[in-house]
Structure 1
Amino acid sequence: MTNVSAPLPTPRAELLDCLAQPHLYDLAVIGGGATGLGVALDAAARGFSVVLVDSHDFAKGTSSRATKLVHGGVRYLAQGNISLVREALHERTTLLSNAPHLAQPLPFVMPSYRFWETPFYGIGLMMYDALAGKAGLGATQFLGRARTLQLLPTALKDGLKGGVKYWDGQFDDARLALALARTAASRGALLVNYCPAKKLIHEEGRVAGFECEDAETGRAFTVKARCVVNATGVWVDGLRQMDGEAIGKPVKPIVAPSQGVHIVVDKEFLPSDHALMVPKTADGRVLFAVPWLGKLILGTTDSPRQDVVREPLPFKEEVAFILNESARYLTRAPKPEDIRSIWVGLRPLVKPQDDDGGNTKSISREHTVLASRSGLVTVTGGKWTTYRAMAEDVLQKCFETGALEPKAAGVTNQLQLVGTPTEVVRHRISDAPGMHSYGADAAQVAGLPGAARALGGGLTEAMVRFAARFEYARTVEDVLARRSRMLFLDARLAQEVAPAVAEILREELGCDPQLPAFLALAQQYLRPEM
């Protein structure tokens, strides 16, 4: 099922006027990350009336800070979580098919420095292939030393015995989230960013909607819906507590936040279209070196956090860990001064009942869907790869509560997202960003004023105008962090480009594009003092 058409404009004044209209929606979603957007799209595609609000920008939180991998989860296989791996492998193929300009196969090489590692990990990865079945992206291969160095030319040569090559996928997470939002809108859903839900509405003990507020003007709105979904990721416990207090039933927190840090360096540290994967580092974590948008991502960490903040900072020991572990596998190890950008994401891991908060590496990455006594449906946990399956589970829970009449699932299985090109995609996600990132929308972008004016980092004036007119962008951060990925690729370059972006946004939107706030944020993405 294709979804190729002229892009829908996203004028904020009109969106807010629609939100102000008295209407009983079938489904109201709070939270515009991967999960909330997936729910909105699934429900709209089934013919339900849908509204979604987010307190900040779409994918501002965890959903723009992934390791950029669409994967079944090799380490989950090692943990024995076969069902999660099987589901994720199926969803991996679906995602790659439905947005081929934003999600593509990626080959990985696992270098071996002990004789037993190649057969040991190779057999495990062949099991990974077997679980994928027809959804496999390529067969696992055992590599000799020479072939391993050919694919990973800067891998440490001393002690290298060989390696194993296997396949997974990679994607542009924030732009995929945006494609979900725009596709949901094309199916009739109303989506509004920068409109935080302030209070849940209860009628006769049942949740019946919420009150929200435009963050720019303070204009208040009342949203009524048959079913309300709490898809706020690491923040779900706040809404759950609000719901519990309203109906006189206290709730226990269900989220154990885990912090993941990623470092970006120039691709010269691993000039390859293959990613490097270390299954077990010095402290038992996994290390990736992934080519992405012309740069190299190194990560990730898995550190418990007790606080939940919008812009978490990396711990110094996390940065040191990634750099030190990279030095064990690369001939030239990146140093702090080589870092182009650092980003931190908080994973909403679901607590086991007996959790003491001390170790998030062992917590399952499976998602949880709950319905409270009032009918509030909460979804959290999971991972980007399985967003579509999570959405189906949420809709099923809405049916089970009696809030909605059931409609058949599976409508998003072959629903191609907005921007999916009709021709074969020839650019890779690992290539530097450019017009190809827009897929079928490239012609519309090229037709806007400023298409020939390059701002830097593959961004043009026309791309900024497109973000303002068709992609819900309101601020410099929206453009440089999530419509373009420049903040995540090169924070200093993003600072240099920001004033020009702000000028274009002022012209397009007539509002304050928050330039000083962005310049301060970009400083956080630069290397910390070591």
Structure 2
Amino acid sequence: MIPSPALPGAFERGRNLRRLADEHFDVLVVGGGITGVGVALDAASRGLRTALVERGDFASGTSSKSSKLVHGGLRYLQNGDVRLVYEALRERQRLLRNAPHLVRVMPFLIPMFGKGGVIHPKLEKALGSAMWMYDLTGGARIGKLHQRISKEQTLAHMPTLPADRVGASYLYYDAQADDARLTLTVARTAAELHGAVCVNHAPVVELTHEGARTTGAVVEDAESGDRIEVRARAVVNAAGVWADDIRALDEGMHPHAIRPAKGIHLTVPWSLVRNDIAVIAPVPKDKRSIFVVPWPAPAGEEPAFTYIGTTDTDYDGPTEDPQCTREDVAYLLDAINHSTTTDITERHVVGTWAGLRPLVKATTSGRTADLSRNHAVVTSASGVVSVTGGKLTTYREMAADTMGAVAKVLDLPRSQRRSRTARLRLLGADGYDPGATGPDQHLHQRYGGEARVVQAMAERDPSLGVPLVNGLPHLRAEALYAVRYEMATTLADVLERRVRGLMLSRDATADAAAAVAELIGPELGWSDRRRADEVAELRARAAQQRDAPGLPDSVLPGVGS
């Protein structure tokens, strides 16, 4: 499908608020995470009048706090979930084709450990069989098969591995993406290329009904406090870990269908790990593994950061803003130090993040790791379609299945019953230059063909071509672009999600907060009081991230205080 020209003002918040009030929609999507924006794109690309509302910012929940991987999931094969892996690997290939500027192939190393580097034959055979199964399930679609590499090659990829324990290892291929940018790009594609109306910072406070049917929702504009009634023929609940709360508005009782699983991650200077590719390392005395992933750097340059994370820790705390605790940080540091010769301590941690996956209760096991990653789509008696579960990689398929249920609710004609997103390229895919170098490479890998707009801003005003945050590659022009074209309305929208400052370099980002607020404040019409409040809030978030696990100020040359 050839995309239509971008619609002027289609991602402008004030205009979209007015459209929410004035228009009547076929589909209203509640939730602006990756699943919700995927549903909005699927619906709008079918020619349906589509609206989406998000209580916070796009991807402000789980969809900005994942492991940033687009993959099948080797461990799901161990659980016998071959179908999930097959479907995820098929979706991985579609993303590589439809969003080449956002999703990149990444090699993964599985180091083999043994006493004196001698690997137990049964372990070696089991892992080799898993590698072949992954290739056959769909891993080979990427164009490369797994490899068995020598001990010397293994250490070349990660010199900090313990040479006395590591042996010949395995190399295979998956992909990586900035989850928040992918989510935002899907939302913009739905709006700018297919006419959807998307609004952030607009929580649903009520679902409206006529008789037994749900006919829309009342949302509140978090900026003004005004309430808007949104009329729609069908409502999709894609609120992620908060989906049960929306179901309670519809059904009158909380279904308790979701069991949150907490994913924890931390960022450290790359120089402490020195992995040139992603590594899957075992957690001692545990059945889990951790991902050790370098944050992408321009070609020819060493990465500045490596992030370390795991998923699926059972969680029963507040869902609003989960944090990495001191115990979480200790768990990850213990795991990475078991697989490296460097001593990485709390003092080296420059960023942390935690997210909640909305897993569907479907097992009596006590481990969230045993819960299915398959998604579930249910339709209530009033016609609200709820989608839960799943994973980042399979968002497009989840959206297509959700719209299949919506098609039944709306009794859509045959011409609108088929999903059109399998080959639908995302905004920025056209005009993407994979051969760009230097600062242009950074911009093309974030904006694709839209990089030309950021480049033009920096060319017109050279002050916008300097770094936004000390030690990070983002330009000041990117902050203005976020406000003008990406519906960023708060300082956190810019520094947490449009650029990943808090995640990568917490203290340096807090230091830059006042300068960034001074830059974007006039664009957003902020008063001096609002600007001060935004800076205080951003710095409080940085302090919360640091203080929750009791971390000291990070010390990193050229970054932070």
Q: Work out whether residues 227 and 403 of structure 1, in 8 Å CA contact, stay in contact via their aligned partners in 2.
A: no
Superposition pairs of residues 493-512 of structure 1, within 5 angstroms? 493-511=508-526, 512=530
Q: Work out whether residues 110 and 171 of structure 2, in 8 Å CA contact, stay in contact via their aligned partners in 1.
A: yes
The DSSP-based 3-state class of the residue aligned with 1:109 is strand
Output the CA distance in 1 between the equivalents of 2:26 and 2:410.
Answer: 12
Q: Work out whether residues 106 and 275 of structure 1, in 8 Å CA contact, stay in contact via their aligned partners in 2.
A: yes
Q: Work out whether residues 377 and 386 of structure 2, in 8 Å CA contact, stay in contact via their aligned partners in 1.
A: yes
Output the CA distance in 2 between the equivalents of 1:254 and 1:309.
Answer: 15
The DSSP-based 3-state class of the residue aligned with 1:126 is helix
Instruction: Note the C-alpha offset of 1:433.
Output: 5.1
Superposition pairs of residues 20-419 of structure 1, within 5 angstroms? 20-21=21-22, 23-114=23-114, 115=119, 116=121, 117-132=123-138, 135-186=141-192, 187-245=194-252, 250-278=253-281, 281-293=284-296, 294=303, 295-352=305-362, 355=364, 358-402=366-410, 404-406=412-414, 407-419=416-428
Q: Work out whether residues 326 and 333 of structure 1, in 8 Å CA contact, stay in contact via their aligned partners in 2.
A: no
Q: What are the Cα deviations for residues 360-418 of structure 1, in whole angstroms up to 9, with x where unaligned?
A: 11111111111011111000110000000000000001123345445243411111111
Q: Work out whether residues 105 and 137 of structure 1, in 8 Å CA contact, stay in contact via their aligned partners in 2.
A: no
Letter paired with 1:411: R
Q: Work out whether residues 433 and 444 of structure 2, in 8 Å CA contact, stay in contact via their aligned partners in 1.
A: no
Output the CA distance in 1 between the equivalents of 2:81 and 2:396.
Answer: 19
Gaps of 5+ in 2: 297-302, 552-561
Output the CA distance in 2 between the equivalents of 1:402 and 1:7.
Answer: 27
| Structure 2 residue aligned with 1:523 | 543
Q: Work out whether residues 212 and 221 of structure 1, in 8 Å CA contact, stay in contact via their aligned partners in 2.
A: yes
Output the CA distance in 2 between the equivalents of 1:8 and 1:158.
Answer: 61
Gaps of 5+ in 1: none
Letter paired with 1:268: S
- Larger deviation, residues 280-289 vs 50-59: 280-289
- Identical pairs, percent: 39
Instruction: Note the C-alpha offset of 1:224.
Output: 1.0
Instruction: Note the C-alpha offset of 1:122.
Output: 2.1
Letter paired with 2:542: A
- Larger deviation, residues 134-143 vs 386-395: 134-143
Letter paired with 1:11: E
Q: Work out whether residues 339 and 526 of structure 1, in 8 Å CA contact, stay in contact via their aligned partners in 2.
A: no
Instruction: Note the C-alpha offset of 1:100.
Output: 1.2
Query: Cα–Cα, structure 1 residues 426 and 274, in superposed 2: closer, same or farther, change >3 Å?
Result: farther
Q: Work out whether residues 37 and 180 of structure 1, in 8 Å CA contact, stay in contact via their aligned partners in 2.
A: yes
| Structure 1 residue aligned with 2:466 | 453
Q: Work out whether residues 275 and 294 of structure 2, in 8 Å CA contact, stay in contact via their aligned partners in 1.
A: yes
- Larger deviation, residues 222-231 vs 275-284: 275-284
Output the CA distance in 2 between the equivalents of 1:7 and 1:265.
Answer: 41
Q: Give TM-score scaled by structure 2 length.
A: 0.89
Output the CA distance in 2 between the equivalents of 1:401 and 1:11.
Answer: 30
Q: Work out whether residues 282 and 335 of structure 2, in 8 Å CA contact, stay in contact via their aligned partners in 1.
A: no
Q: Work out whether residues 201 and 222 of structure 2, in 8 Å CA contact, stay in contact via their aligned partners in 1.
A: yes
Query: Cα–Cα, structure 1 residues 208 and 105, in superposed 2: closer, same or farther, change >3 Å?
Result: same
Calculate the aligned-residue CA RMSD, in Å: 2.1
Q: What are the Cα deviations for residues 272-300 of structure 1, in whole angstroms up to 9, with x where unaligned?
A: 33111125642111211011144111011
| Structure 2 residue aligned with 1:474 | 489
Q: Work out whether residues 137 and 167 of structure 1, in 8 Å CA contact, stay in contact via their aligned partners in 2.
A: no
The yes-or-no answer on 1:437 pairing with 2:446 is yes
Letter paired with 2:497: R
| Structure 2 residue aligned with 1:422 | 431
Query: Cα–Cα, structure 1 residues 7 and 308, in superposed 2: closer, same or farther, change >3 Å?
Result: farther
Instruction: Note the C-alpha offset of 1:12.
Output: 2.4
Output the CA distance in 2 between the equivalents of 1:433 and 1:485.
Answer: 13
- Larger deviation, residues 376-385 vs 132-141: 132-141
- Larger deviation, residues 315-324 vs 376-385: 315-324
Which structure shows the higher helix fraction?
A: 2
Q: Work out whether residues 264 and 298 of structure 1, in 8 Å CA contact, stay in contact via their aligned partners in 2.
A: yes
Q: Give TM-score scaled by structure 1 length.
A: 0.94
Instruction: Note the C-alpha offset of 1:517.
Output: 1.1
Output the CA distance in 2 between the equivalents of 1:69 and 1:56.
Answer: 23
Q: Work out whether residues 3 and 420 of structure 1, in 8 Å CA contact, stay in contact via their aligned partners in 2.
A: no
Q: Work out whether residues 209 and 225 of structure 1, in 8 Å CA contact, stay in contact via their aligned partners in 2.
A: yes
Query: Cα–Cα, structure 1 residues 408 and 6, in superposed 2: closer, same or farther, change >3 Å?
Result: closer
| Structure 1 residue aligned with 2:558 | none
Output the CA distance in 1 between the equivalents of 2:262 and 2:49.
Answer: 35
Output the CA distance in 1 between the equivalents of 2:145 and 2:161.
Answer: 22
Query: Cα–Cα, structure 1 residues 504 and 3, in superposed 2: closer, same or farther, change >3 Å?
Result: farther
Q: Work out whether residues 434 and 458 of structure 1, in 8 Å CA contact, stay in contact via their aligned partners in 2.
A: no
